[in-house]
Amino acid sequence: MPTFRPFEPESHERELISILGELAELETFGALELQRVLRRYPKNGRGLFSKSELVRGFRRFRNRLGPSLDGDALLERLRMKPVRTMSGVAPVTILTKPFPCPGRCIFCPSDVRMPKSYLSDEPGAQRAAQHQFDPYLQTLSRLHAYHNNGHRTDKVELIILGGTWSSYPEAYQIWFVKRCFDAMNDFSGESAAPLAPTEPVIDFRLLEERIDGQSIDRSYNQVVSDFAEGAVIDHETATWSKLEELQRVNEGVRTRCVGLVVETRPDHLTLDEALRMRRLGATKVQIGYQSLSDRVLALNKRGHDVAATREAMRVLRRVGFKIHAHWMPNLYGSDPAADLLDYERIFEDQDLRPDELKIYPCSLIESAELMAFYKRGEWRPYEHDELLRVLTRCMHRTPRYCRLTRVIRDIPGTDIVDGNRVTNFRELAERELQQLGMASAEIRAREIRDLEIVSSDLSLETTEYDTAIGREQFLEFVTAEDRIAGFLRLSLPAEPVPIPEIRDSAMIREVHVYGGLVGLGRRRQGLPQHLGLGRRLVAEAERRAAAAGYPNLAVISSVGTREYYRRLGFQDGSLYQTKPLAAALRSEG
């Protein structure tokens, strides 16, 4: 573990108060203005204070800076990478430990120091390895990083990545999520203290064996299993009752889990599996389509067909999950024209139509079996212009109810044997769209971000479409320029759902209000998060569900939003919160 030397604001009180006071008075604020102020008050007579140190100083000496100072505005100036929380939540991404994977995909990296498909040079993977995949330490360190860089951590979206979640033992799943809740419940917002593993763990960084994709003598599963054999893992277990106890605690703490995401394969999604995910607190599932061609899936040894993907989507919709799909152009056996047709199927086929999508063009990694196909001349990476055309057309063809979270995977260039190494391809594609006189209507391209608005600026728009289980309504508040401030996903099943507590219910699958993250119980004039948009969207969903004849409205609430929905009249069930719609029916009449 690296040595940790905490920064002590008290040792620099005079300089920090002077710097903060001058920064608060600046009419314009940029890198140049900041440097000028910092140089007037050097740290220890020679260095410059970092932004995170200024944030620490602000929080320590806030009461010394005068009652007229706009503290929130000053903190916004100091905040590092403000876009991280501009979507209204603080995303915390952590990885599970390396573990045997049920897949045999030829394109998948086989870095045995990482969970399947991840690479040890990726930033998130490096953080996970530093903490030896301990969920508590990963979560706590990310919360400290946000706090020290000026971000709020009231509303956390916990994203659990790593291989196929459904293939890990249930006891490990429960323990992993429990330790994440331990970290969120323990987090005080104070400066980070030294973090060290508290239990015996396996340090996969010590694993020296590597896999050569051109000649695979031993598989990823064999190497990982042999290295981990006999390891002390008795502590990696927990009971459902203990997890549920910590979830109840999280409903009232400062750092609440407002979303929990896991990822899996279509062929591992049964109704029982989805309900277990729900019991863990999951509200969103990432699922790998990769392709919608049975031929391409078979050539790439994916291990399932398109029918399995359709059935998995049906299961996810019945449970009410938000659905985040992955799709891969440039797979072995495809080509640019076929990829564009494949992409259109995603939204033309009512059995699919995900809420969010990651586009991951296939990259050539040395440890992937695809290396052998590349060496034989049977596969090649797309040229720059080919890839640009595919991504540009995909972005243009994405409907307004879907959010493109990524259009390229941020793989370090040193890990790519041949092909695209440009990580800002999204910007290139957006520029290309502008030059072609086109625009993308997908959610991320329209997010309002840090713009200040008033309610009268907004109108309510509705997009309706059919799904595998019924009708979906996407309700969104937008500006005159079509910038999205908030939305709600309302599912109207055409037949009873095979889950007793929501059998005859319409379902709110997601409510999201954009704009900079505002703390629980705090108000900021002009920010979308505190214009009451969430309440208005829920009220509109109630009205529409009642008008459609549903006796109840359910919501797949996260642990950290249960109290919010209780205030709106929803009652707790075992996995969902529900509200009778008799009152809404009377008001309609």
pLDDT digits (tens, 9 = 90+) for 191-225: 444 455 555 578 888 888 999 999 888 999 999 99
Per-residue pLDDT at 81: 60
Distance of CA 386 to the CA centre of its chain: 29
Per-residue pLDDT at 281: 98
- What is the pTM assigned to this prediction? 0.87
Its CATH architecture, for the domain 286-445, is 2-Layer Sandwich (3.30)
Q: Closest Cα partner for 353 from 300, 382, 381, 316?
A: 316
Residues sharing a CB contact under 8 Å with residue 578, sequence separation 6 or more, in sequence order: 501, 502, 505, 552, 553, 554, 555, 570, 571
Which percentage of the chain shows pLDDT scores above 70?
A: 89
Spatial separation of the C-alpha atoms in residues 306 and 157, rounded to whole Å: 30
pLDDT digits (tens, 9 = 90+) for 425-441: 999 999 999 999 999 99
Q: Closest Cα partner for 88 from 566, 561, 563, 568?
A: 561
- Which two three-digit tokens encode residue 411? 């793989």
DSSP 198-250: -S----GGG------TTS-SS-HHHHHHHHHTT---TTS---HHHHHHHHHHH
How confident is residue 1, by pLDDT bands cut at 50, 70 and 90? Answer: very low
pLDDT digits (tens, 9 = 90+) for 85-95: 556 789 999 99
pLDDT digits (tens, 9 = 90+) for 256-304: 999 999 999 999 999 999 999 999 999 999 999 999 999 999 999 999 9
Supply φ then ψ for residue 190, to 5 degrees.
Answer: -80, 175
Residue with the larger pLDDT of the pair 501 and 147: 501
Per-residue pLDDT at 34: 81
Spatial separation of the C-alpha atoms in residues 322 and 248, rounded to whole Å: 22
Domain-wise residue ranges, the chain? 9-78, 83-264, 286-445, 447-588
Same topology for domains 286-445 and 447-588, yes or no? Answer: no
pLDDT digits (tens, 9 = 90+) for 319-333: 999 999 999 999 999
**In sequence order, what E strands does 88-154 have?**
90-95
- Which CATH code for domain 447-588? 3.40.630.30
Enter the DSSP assignment of 416: B
